[in-house]
Structure formats: C-alpha cells, structure tokens
Amino acid sequence: MRVYVKFDFNKTCKTVLREQLDTLGIEYVIHGVGEVEFERPPTLLEMQKMANNLDRYGIEIMDDQQIALVQRIKDAISEWVHEEENPKKYNFSTYLSEKLDYSYTYLSSLFSETTYSSIENFIILKKIDYVKSLIINSEHTLTEIAYKLNYSSVAHLSAQFKKTTGLTPSSFQKIIQKRKERALMQ
C-alpha cells in the first residue's frame, strides 16, 4: 500500500533547525529562512555539535558570506513561490531587495556569477516544480494553479511548463493519473 504525503519544505526545515538549535542551550532568533542569530557566539565545540546534528538532515552551516547570500536568495525565492498569502502580486525584484536588504542589481549579479544561471531562470524552475507538486498532490485545476502562481494565463503556464519539462501540464496530469491508478491496482 502506498500513502501519498504532502509537506511544507520551509516549515519542515525551520522545525528541524529549531529542534537542533534548542539542544545547544543558546538563545537564538531565526531570521527568515537560512539565517540564525545567536545571543552569544557559539564555541567551537558547540559549532561542531550543531554542524553534526544539522548534517544528518542535509542542513549545512555555510562559511562564505557570498555563498550564504546566494542560499538566502534561493530560500527567499522558494518562500515567495510557495507563499499562500500571494506576495506575487508585486514585483519580485522589490520583494527580494526589501527582504535581503541589498539592491536587486547586486543580488542578480552575485547569483549569476555563483550559479551560472539567472534569478529569473531559478524562479521559473521553482514555479514549475511547485506546479508539478500541485498537479500531483491537489485537486486544483490548471486555471487555479495559473492564478495561484500569478501567471497571466493558462497558456503562459503551459508554455513555460512545456519548455521546462518537455511535457504539457495536461500530459503530465495524465501520466500522474495513470501511475496512481496502477498503484491502486497493485
């Protein structure tokens, strides 16, 4: 028997992070996704313990500030794409600049230099991943998904989906439905 689950990646990561940081006994504040401020600097031993504990969950402590900022950009993009309150109604460059307190030009240049891809391409990939997740795990129509992710139309969503995956959303839905039907038969 298969059971299908759905989860909020950001919430899961924050929960794991809190649980592991609580074991250190140091007061802390989590700022957004991927940034922790401690009341006092952790000792080397505490840092090693924290790194080992977090590593078990695929969470790593980053040393390089630019790499850390790129990760914060990625996390902000994920948060923006998955946000239910729909902050997508205003310009992403404004959202990112305000959230990270850097100019969008600087963030965009840093992201491109570090990842060899643009922020815009990363947003598209994240949105398409989310579309796939919604198709698999929800009963939303393509119209509802297009609206939820602020696409101008279902045609725009479909074109971007096909360009990224090689399939139309409808074809993807049919494949997923057939897989679910086969799984139920087994």
Are residues 53 and 20 in contact, defined by beta-carbon separation less than 8 angstroms?
yes
Cβ neighbour number for residue 134 with a 10 Å cutoff? 18
Q: Which domain holds residue 123?
A: 65-185
Based on the fold, state whether residues 38 and 97 are members of the same structural domain: no
State how far the Cα of 166 lies from the Cα of 177, in Å rounded to an integer.
18
Tell me the pLDDT tens digit for each residue of 14-54: 888 889 889 888 899 887 656 788 888 889 898 899 889 88
Q: Taking residues 45-69, report their average pLDDT.
A: 86
pLDDT of residue 77: 92
Q: How confident is the model at residue 10 (pLDDT cuts 50, 70, 90)?
A: confident
**DSSP letter for each residue of 81-110:** HH-TT-GGGS-HHHHHHHHHTS-HHHHHHH
What is the mean predicted confidence (pLDDT) over 65-92?
A: 81
The reported pLDDT for the residue numbered 156 is 95
Give the pLDDT confidence score for residue 103 in this predicted structure: 93
What is the number of domains present in the chain?
2
Task: Please check whether residues 30 and 91 belong to one and the same domain.
Answer: no
**Co-location of 15 and 87 in the same domain:** no
Q: Is the pLDDT of residue 92 over 70?
A: yes
146 in the same domain as 101: yes
Name the packing angle between helices 92-100 and 65-82 (round to 10°).
130
**In the structure encoding, which two tokens stand for residue 58, read together?**
């695929």
Q: pLDDT for 118-128, tens place per residue?
A: 999 999 999 99
Selected residue with higher pLDDT from 181 and 121: 121
Pairing of strands 36-38, 28-30: antiparallel
Note the pLDDT of residue 128: 96
Question: Could you tell me if residue 4 is inside a domain?
Answer: no
- The answer to whether the pTM exceeds 0.85 is no
Q: Are 41 and 96 contained in the same domain?
A: no
Cα–Cα distance for residue pair 77/90, rounded to 1 Å: 14
Residues 6+ apart with CB under 8 A from 148: 86, 134, 140
186 three-state secondary structure:
coil
| Contact assessment for residue 35 and residue 73, using Cβ atoms and an 8 Å cutoff | no
**Count of alpha carbons within 13 Å of 39, Cβ hemisphere only?**
7
Average pLDDT over residues 80-104: 81
Q: Which residue has the higher pLDDT, 77 or 31?
A: 77
- 43 φ/ψ sector (left φ>0, alpha ψ -120 to 50, else beta): beta
39 with 69, same domain: the answer is no
Q: What does the block give as tokens for 98?
A: 């305000």
What angle (nearest 5°) sits at the alpha carbon of residue 125, between those of residues 91 and 175? 130
- Is the per-residue pLDDT at 90 higher than 80? no
One domain, residues 23 and 71: no
Q: What is the pLDDT of residue 67?
A: 86
